[in-house]
């Protein structure tokens, strides 16, 4: 809401003060929990900071049904009781005791967040940073090549695939999307079809996250050093720039946007960014990022580097004749840290106060 002539906009402290004033005037505002409202302002403050720091996009408006949730902090967050081995309950301000299913041991925590996803599932996540997984101490170094056809190729020879929707689930998704296109806006049928689509997407996301969590834990336990390509996923998955036609002003040449969209889907589906992010949490200080250039064109045996070495999924060295699976060859190069200036990443520093992001279902 900032404009040049209005002067500075209120920050978090001023907003919190205004909130107290507003609560005194409006009954409907008083009916809600002050902590929840204050924390929403704090979230907004953080979003704005991130935007001005250049690491995130501009904050967007909140929308019903999308990323719904709230946070409780302070003494109010301490009212949690384990009821049985599998169940616990929490006193949510203005709501009362709410039972929830425990998916892991309840941590010592001073804040929690309750969220509701697009499919209507409620989750509670307690803010606690778990200890990193200790290194096995066997000196093992692994290179991980992340790809679209094979989600992760390891220099040990393993090819790992992130589970996706099955053939029949994908067919059903296409079918539902067609029905959605035909459904009338605002109709009940449209709502139902939309919910069914969201359910399928949520299922795919759950599988992906589950795979990422299991795989990253497995890597952190088995290897001392994990080398990955330094890929910039947000930049890579950006949509291509429009290509102006030099012959005709105002018109554009094909820029293969649909093809790029397909590749983007492949990259995002495979959870590239998330895998490395979780690895950095779990194997803090043991993840090394290697410049991605030429890892797929260089022979892992003799070091010969030429674009002609690679033919789709097969690697064949034009110099020594060595042949291998293309992704495995790349993984071995990454493990060797070849073609590159390897830099040791500092362990991810995380403030104890900062709330860890919810990455798995609770
Ligand atoms: Zn070679």
Phi, psi of 243 (to 5 degrees): -105, 105
Higher pLDDT, residue 294 or 340:
294
For residue 340, how far is its CA from the centre of ligand 1 (angstroms)? 18
Q: What is the pLDDT of residue 261?
A: 66
Q: What is the mean pLDDT of the chain?
A: 83
Q: What is the pLDDT of residue 255?
A: 67
Which of 122-126, 158-162, 186-190, 301-305 is predicted least confidently? 301-305
For residue 290, how far is its CA from the centre of ligand 1 (angstroms)? 21
What are the CA-CA distances from residue 299 to residues 142, 308, 317, 337 (Å)? 17, 11, 6, 13
Q: What is the pLDDT of residue 259?
A: 64
Higher pLDDT, residue 4 or 167:
167
Which of 68-72, 132-136, 323-327 is predicted least confidently? 323-327
Q: What is the pLDDT of residue 220?
A: 94
pLDDT digits (tens, 9 = 90+) for 312-336: 778 888 888 888 888 888 888 888 8
Task: Check residue 224 and report its DSSP letter.
Answer: S
Residue 71 has which token pair?
């946070």
Quick one: pLDDT band at residue 257, thresholds 50, 70, 90?
Answer: low
pLDDT for residue 239 is more than 80: no
For residue 350, how far is its CA from the centre of ligand 1 (angstroms)? 43
Task: Give the bridge partners for 41, in sequence order.
Answer: none
pLDDT for residue 137 is more than 50: yes
Domain ranges of the chain: 68-126
Please state the rounded mean pLDDT for residues 218-239. Answer: 80
For residue 309, how far is its CA from the centre of ligand 1 (angstroms)? 9
Q: Give the number of other Cβ atoms within 10 Å of residue 288's Cβ.
A: 20
Give, for 143, the enclosing helix (H) or strand (E): strand 141-146
pLDDT for residue 52 is more than 70: yes
Q: What is the pLDDT of residue 64?
A: 81
pTM of the full predicted structure? 0.74
Residues flanking ion ligand 1, Cβ below 5 Å: 299, 301-302, 304, 317, 319-320, 322
| 74 Cβ contact partners less than 8 Å away, ≥ 6 residues apart | 35, 110, 111
Side-chain half-sphere exposure of 330, counting CA atoms within 13 A = 27
Q: Which residues are the active-site residues?
A: 145, 229, 327
For residue 329, how far is its CA from the centre of ligand 1 (angstroms)? 11
For residue 302, how far is its CA from the centre of ligand 1 (angstroms)? 4
Q: What is the pLDDT of residue 217?
A: 94
Quick one: pLDDT band at residue 274, thresholds 50, 70, 90?
Answer: confident
Question: Residue 202 and residue 282: Cα distance in Å, rounded?
Answer: 25
3-state secondary structure 217-258: HHHHHHCCEEEEECCCHHHHCCCCCCEECCCCCCCEECCCHH
Q: What is the pLDDT of residue 232?
A: 66
For residue 298, how far is its CA from the centre of ligand 1 (angstroms)? 8
Quick one: pLDDT band at residue 111, thresholds 50, 70, 90?
Answer: very high
């Amino acid at each position: 809401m900032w404009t040049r002539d209005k002067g500075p906009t209120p920050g978090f402290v001023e907003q919190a003060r205004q909130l107290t004033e507003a609560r005194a005037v409006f009954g409907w505002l008083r009916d809600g929990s002050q902590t929840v409202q204050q924390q929403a302002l704090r979230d907004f403050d953080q979003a704005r900071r991130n935007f001005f720091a250049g690491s995130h996009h501009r904050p967007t408006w909140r929308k019903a049904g999308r990323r719904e949730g709230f946070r409780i902090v302070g003494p109010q967050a301490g009212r949690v009781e384990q009821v049985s081995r599998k169940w616990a309950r929490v006193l949510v301000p203005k709501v009362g005791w709410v039972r929830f299913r425990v998916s892991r041991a309840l941590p010592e925590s001073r804040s929690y967040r309750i969220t509701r996803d697009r499919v209507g599932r409620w989750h509670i996540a307690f803010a606690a940073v778990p200890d990193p997984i200790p290194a096995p101490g066997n000196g093992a170094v692994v290179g991980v090549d992340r790809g679209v056809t094979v989600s992760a190729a390891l220099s040990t020879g393993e090819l790992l695939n992130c589970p996706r929707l099955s053939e029949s689930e994908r067919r059903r998704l296409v079918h539902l999307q067609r029905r959605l296109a035909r459904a009338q806006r605002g109709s009940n049928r449209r709502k139902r079809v939309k919910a069914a689509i969201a359910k399928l997407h949520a299922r795919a996301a759950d599988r992906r996250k589950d795979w990422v969590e299991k795989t990253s834990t497995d890597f952190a336990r088995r290897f001392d050093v994990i080398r990955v390509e330094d890929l910039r996923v947000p930049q890579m998955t950006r949509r291509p720039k429009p290509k102006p036609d030099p012959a005709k002003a105002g018109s554009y040449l094909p820029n293969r946007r649909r093809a790029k969209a397909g590749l983007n889907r492949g990259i995002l589906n495979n959870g590239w960014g998330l895998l490395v992010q979780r690895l950095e949490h779990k194997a803090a200080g043991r993840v090394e990022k290697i410049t991605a250039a030429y890892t797929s064109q260089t022979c892992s045996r003799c070091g010969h580097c030429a674009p002609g070495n690679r033919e789709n999924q097969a690697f064949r060295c034009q110099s020594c004749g060595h042949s291998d699976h293309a992704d495995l060859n790349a993984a071995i190069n990454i493990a060797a840290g070849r073609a590159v200036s390897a830099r040791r990443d500092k362990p991810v520093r995380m403030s104890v106060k900062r709330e860890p992001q919810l990455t798995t279902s609770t």
